[in-house]
Structure 1
Amino acid sequence: MLNLKFIQDNPELVVEKLKKKNFDASSIVSEIIDLYKQKNSLQAQADNAKAEMNQISKEIGLLFREGKKEEAEAAKERTSVLKENIKQYDADFSAIEEKVYELHVMLPNLPAEIVPIGKGADDNEVVKTGGEMPQMETGALPHWELAAKYKLIDFELGVKLTGAGFPVYRGKGAQLQRALINFFLAEAAKAGYEEVQPPLMVNEDSGFGTGQLPDKEGQMYHVTEDNLYLIPTAEVPVTNIYRDMILDAKDLPFKNTAYSACFRREAGSYGKDVRGLNRLHQFDKVEIVQIAHPEKSYETLDQMVAHVEGLVQKLGLPYRILRLCGGDMSFASALTFDFEVFSAAQEKWLEVSSVSNFEAFQANRLKLRFREEGAKKPQIAHTLNGSALALPRIVAALLENNQTPEGIKIPEALVPFTGFDMIS
């Protein structure tokens, strides 16, 4: 959440910066400013009423002692009127605060200066490429045909059990999933991340804290009777571990990793671009989260990007790193880098990770602060997270890029985790 004082002090700057996210904040910011003007006016009236009431209260006893009963009774009636006025001012204050809150939570995070201008994915900037493009033989199969051929993934059984977008992994397909999860967690542990196993459902406060609510409620599965939400990513429960906390600056950064199933409604997704593993309602992912000092959060972002790059390199996948333009960024992000790997049989790039710095946006919502040694007032921390990695499209690219006449070759880095080096 943006700082309200910053909005009041810099309304034009906020509106201008959010244009980069293709968000017109002018009416919201203007209304917030007007509401605070009303609040300040009411505050002045309330202060005057309280001062007058205090003065009259002092005078009433004196009037009675002087035998000025009628004047004393009139003064008492005036204090009654002032009390009612003050009650109304308090009610008006609450109404204004509620309206400001409703408007405030609608404002996205401000994009960082280096975020490129653009409307969507076509305007993202490729900042780095790596890996070698595989040379595929004629007749190379897409991953959904390979999955059927080697009995790795049963998409039709998933439809029977639940519906489209809920595949069933079998045999070496299930083992490959587990191997990837363990590989990603092991690499995160090497990089100093503490593993946690979070709940797969969260409450509204958690969804609000990381910016999923009220922005993305339509994309989340909602357990209505209990008012809980299935997590779209482990970022939500893991970051909320630090909600309502004041941390010691000397302990920063806090680093956590978590494996979880993730659930996304992906409403409106259909067509050839969502075949097989390209877009699912349930999928597995390993997440990395950091709580960082504001002065070091962009250094931390670079480290997290390097960590994810190391993972795709060890898997031998051709990749590219994109800096997202304003129009393709999430509601809460200040700067995001996406990783894509090349899917040889589909001849397309597949997104497998987003690594983001949210600066103080999530921390403001979470009331997540830290205190420097000897400082009286705590400061707002910065939060960051990244996919390290999401499995479905990694599996798709691994199957397609490593197919041979003998079977599917397993990357060397994964063999200690799979226990086999070939799927045949």
Structure 2
Amino acid sequence: MDILSGFNDEELYIVNSIERICRIKDIKSYVVGGAVRDILLHVNVKDIDICLNEDPIVVLKSLGGVHKFKYYDEFQTASIIFNNGISIDLIRCRKEVYLKPGMLPKIIPSDIKDDLYRRDFTVNALAYDLSDHKLIDPYGGNSDIEKKLIKKVHKNSYMEDPTRIFRAIKYSIRYGFYLYDVNEIMNCICNKALQSISTDRLVREIYLLCKEENWKNAYLLFEKFHIFKLNCGLIGKINLNTDYNDINIRVLNLYYSLRDKKQGNILTYNSILDTRVKKALIYIRENYHSIKSIEDNILDNYEIFKVFQGIHSYVLIYLSWNFKLAYKIYNYMYNLQSCKLCLNGNKVKSLGVKNGKCIGIILKHSMKIRLNTGIEKELDPEEIKNALKYKDRKF
């Protein structure tokens, strides 16, 4: 089976360059994991990983055409971007030992057999030997691709690293594969396996899932597996004031769909969540009752403007899933938000109005008329002045 035929010309040039250096240095090299899987699936390769039975730094020093790279001494891996734009990761073959469930593993240099055993699913535990030109498939990954199965490689896989639950969901929704380990996954969740990983790691996996085209199906599996308690009717709900092209909107939709708000509070505090999203969620929580109070109130344009002025768009988008607020927010975002007065403080002062408070009253009154009547022309300052005199205001 010729895996190399699945690469384009530029990718193939880099892969062959690495293999040539490895052959000269008597180093075994293998294309591994997702690249092999995607070629067997006849889809575009997303990432190219090449495993070596030697520290990649040895090969890296002899590689030409490197634009930039980053070497990780602790893991003996190198992320390389070449001058032709191709990105490749060189990885030392290794075994992983989990001293405790949920902990990051201890890394031990090893061979391709151990490297494939440490992988999450059989469809990813595949390698192509670049020197012998043969597929290495010790766990039936090729067969599981044909059967459309996502299946663990070894016993206790989900308990030792519960983030694999999210990756199982990711590959399932990406390729339309059946999750073979459903019962084991649900047992792990029931036994609180997810509590053994940090919120940072949890939210990172959520973001990766939100990048998938079928992200809504991932949320449905969250509910099915009891990862989160969700109102499925709110997943992917149409929002009058946005679409779902922004990954952060998809994340906000997860928070909005949560039936258990305590889960939302836990997920809010981490270093992965976009700062703007975090601030929006905190604002909503802290101002929930004041927001709730305007749901059924009939507000004129000026009142709408005052309520939503200065509030971040992510807050407004989150609130727009509430149909009682959606049209008010739409009116603000598309009709009122950019509204400006021709009149300003200096023009009011030119009429002889010196008191700062009164200047503010005039500008406020002018803005109210502008928003509620739709008048585009500049308001007559004399009329405003007379109106204030009628209200017994002093200048």
Q: TM-score, normalised by structure 1?
A: 0.20
- Bigger RCO (CA 8 Å, 6+ sep): 1
Bigger helix share: 2
Which one has the largest radius of gyration? Answer: 2
Bigger strand share: 1
